[in-house]
C-alpha cells in the first residue's frame, strides 16, 4: 500500500466518525436548549457571567414563537439532529442527508436569531450564542463530510 492509499484510508475512517461527533455536539445543543426552556417556564433569571443582556434577550417578544419558547424549538431540533446523526453513524445514508437539511434550516434560523439580538434587541445572551456556535459546528461537520466524500 502506497502513501496515498494510506492517507485515503485514514481520511475515510475519520469521515466515517463524523456522525458520532455530530451526535455529541447535538447533545451539547440539546442540554443548552433544555436549560433555557426550563428557565423560561420557571421564570428564574439566567446567570449571565460572560456577557450582559441575557435577561433582555430571554424576556423579549422574540423569546417565544406562537407562545412556545424559542429554546423549545431548539430541543426538538437538537434531539432530531442527535437521532439522525446516530442513525447515520450506523450506516443509514439517508439519515445523514436529512441531518444536513435539518442543520441547514437550523443555521438559517440561528442567523435570524443572531440578527435579532444584534440589531433589534441590541443585547446578546451567552446561552443563545452557545446554541448558535453549536449549530454552526453541526453545519461545518456536515459540510466537511460532503466535501471529503466527494473526493
Residues sharing a CB contact under 8 Å with residue 4, sequence separation 6 or more, in sequence order: none
pTM: 0.86
Low-confidence residues of the chain, pLDDT below 70?
1-15, 149-151
Q: Could you give the 3-state DSSP secondary structure of residue 27?
A: helix
Residues 140 and 24 sit within 8 Å (Cβ to Cβ): no
Domain boundaries, the chain: 17-149
DSSP output for 85-103: HHHHHTT-HHHHHHHHHHH
CATH 2.30.42.10 assigned to 17-149: no
Query: Of 124, 151, 150, which Cα lies nearest the Cα of 54?
Result: 124
Residue 23 burial (C-beta neighbours within 10 Å; 0-12, 13-18, 19+): buried
Amino acid at each position: 500500500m502506497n502513501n496515498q492509499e494510506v492517507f485515503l484510508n485514514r481520511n475515510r475512517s475519520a469521515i466515517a466518525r463524523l456522525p458520532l461527533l455530530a451526535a455529541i455536539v447535538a447533545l451539547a445543543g440539546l442540554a443548552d436548549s433544555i436549560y433555557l426552556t426550563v428557565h423560561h417556564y420557571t421564570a428564574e433569571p439566567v446567570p449571565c457571567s460572560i456577557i450582559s443582556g441575557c435577561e433582555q434577550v430571554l424576556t423579549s417578544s422574540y423569546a417565544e414563537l406562537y407562545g412556545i419558547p424559542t429554546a423549545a424549538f431548539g430541543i426538538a431540533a437538537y434531539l432530531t439532529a442527535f437521532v439522525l446523526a446516530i442513525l447515520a453513524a450506523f450506516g443509514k445514508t439517508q439519515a445523514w442527508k436529512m441531518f444536513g437539511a435539518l442543520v441547514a434550516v437550523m443555521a438559517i434560523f440561528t442567523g435570524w436569531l443572531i440578527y435579532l439580538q444584534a440589531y433589534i434587541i441590541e443585547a446578546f445572551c451567552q446561552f443563545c450564542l452557545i446554541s448558535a456556535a453549536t449549530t454552526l459546528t453541526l453545519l461545518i461537520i456536515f459540510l466537511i463530510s460532503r466535501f471529503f466524500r466527494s473526493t
